[in-house]
Chain A
Amino acid sequence: MDDKTRTAAGIAANLQGIKYDDKRLAELAAEVELLNGAVREAAAQRLTFDDDPANFASLMAREARK
């Protein structure tokens, strides 16, 4: 079991209380790494302290065709 799979195993057992076998944990660790990495990179390029999830709704209203 590599470090990432071990981390996933720890989350499953200790934080979420859900059991998976080692093979599935390895798959999930790889999937999460891909998704987390993409979001972290996109966030680093775009987000500032003042970005609020609610900006989405206000932008949609503001950009509506008049």
Chain B
Amino acid sequence: MRNDDLALEDLSAIADAIAAGRITSVEATEACLARIETWQPRTNAFIRVLKEKALAQARAMDAELKAGKRRGPLHGVPMAHKDMYYRKGELSTGGSSIRKDWIAPVTATALQKLDAAGVVELGFLNMAEFAAGPTGHNVHFGHCKNPWDEKRVTGGSSSGSGASVAARMTYGALGSDTGGSIRMPAAACGVVGMKATYGRVSRAGAVARSWSLDHVGPLTRTVRDNARVLAAIAGHDPADSTTSEKPVPDYEALLEGGVAGLRIGLALPSDGPGGLDAGIGGAIQTAADVLGKLGAKISPVTLPDFTALYRAAEVMVKCEAAAMHRPWMEKTPELYANQVRTRMEAGFFIPATQYIDALRLRAHFVAEFLATAMDGVDAVLLPAIPFPIPTIEETDTENKGGPAVLKMVAGFTGLTRPFNTLGIPALSVPCGFDRNGVPIGMQLVGRPFDEAMLYRIGHAYQGATDHHTRVPA
């Protein structure tokens, strides 16, 4: 295989090839580095590429394998991560100017787990400043560009994660999701993104946006790859008291169950900011038809009115963000992008009683959703982003602003944020291309801790379609 061919392989195939001795970790790493050289100028997906360190790690992984030690199913696989996962003694910017020189005092649990699994670290990826922004704009490190159309946004806040995986610069990446920040870039860039159940993956050592709503998770090219990475990073962590002690299933072993007999609710919501674009709705309907042909029972479901839930989420995010950012907002407010700072300021004015009530409402919202939209179904299928991906210029709130721009930007999270408040798992899987040739993502939502079901459905869908195999030119 040529280097470029190696970069085009998916994560599981590369991991298995390394394990079998058909290729080395160094060859896989060099393939990604070559790809980064070509695609970084086009996408600005990386904040830092750690070339020498990655090659040294890859050599060490090859040596271990040669000595008969295989750490696990990710041994020797190159990945890169959103620049918000701390590594002790190393720079970690959070996509911000405020932390442009900040050195992390600890290593994130998710990175520790990937280290233990033998993952090679290619570098750290672009992101919205402090994970606050749904589009991929970043005034400090430059906007991230969609590899399918460089004029268009990647989605955010895990912008570099989506772009780097889609452009085959890396086999997988960690993102984080407070209102859709894994699923939106996954959808806009044509890759797979999992926001698992709240408490499934440790948040320790990751930049917080909102402690109550933050979720750590992987972006990959295939559902199988995603299942493999989630299995490596999931599980209880004493450093994050919100993590669950539930055992982590072998997601990959559960992939092949098929969808025959499964009940999938189809939600094509027409309300909300901007409504649902006909082309996006058509792609989701076609995906439902594919799953129906594979034996799933598709039935229409109506989503509850998310207005109160959405505003309760806003209360949580604004109050928590204002509390954690207060010292910088008081002393150096000018170091934030306007759109990042202004989104937090209301948190200083919301009474604590309202914040606490928002937290108390959460269980009610979950119970209501499970009793309505999820009643009698194994998963709900809906769009990730309800409209075609706009351009960077069209969504530039920093320089352009105005009600139309703000409405479009707000519309990004209309179908993703509710599942952060609900804490239930949600998977974005590519299911087509919009009228501009940019990917469309479908979202599968499941019961608490039922990531395996979503992976099973997504895997069956990818077995019958080829959207995930398309590569941006």
Contact = CB atoms under 8 A, between A and B. Distances in A.
Contacts, number: 113
Q: What does DSSP make chain B's interface, helix, strand, loop or mixed? A: helix
B401 to A, nearest CB: 12
B315 A41 contact: no
B244 A61 contact: yes
A18 B330 contact: yes
A12 B349 contact: yes
Contacts of B363: 51, 55-56, 58-59
Nearest to B447: A65
Nearest to A30: B346
B351 to A, nearest CB: 7
B448 A63 contact: yes
Contacts of A41: 308
Nearest to A20: B345
Interface in A41-60: 41-43, 46-47, 51-53, 55-60
Interface string A1-43: 0000000100110001110100010001101101110111111
B31 to A, nearest CB: 39
Interface string B445-473: 00111100100000000000000000000
A42 B362 contact: no
B198 A60 contact: yes
Contacts of B239: none
28 contacts: A12-B349, A20-B345, A24-B345, A36-B354, A38-B307, A39-B308, A39-B311, A39-B361, A41-B308, A42-B308, A42-B309, A43-B360, A47-B360, A47-B361, A47-B364, A51-B364, A52-B360, A53-B359, A53-B360, A56-B423, A57-B199, A59-B366, A60-B198, A60-B366, A60-B424, A63-B366, A63-B447, A65-B447
Interface of A: 8, 11-12, 16-18, 20, 24, 28-29, 31-32, 34-36, 38-43, 46-47, 51-53, 55-61, 63-65
Interface of B: 197-199, 242, 244, 246, 307-309, 311-312, 314-315, 318, 329-330, 345-346, 348-351, 354, 356-364, 366-367, 370, 423-424, 447-450, 453
The 4 closest A-B pairs by CB, nearest first: A38-B311, A53-B359, A42-B308, A64-B449
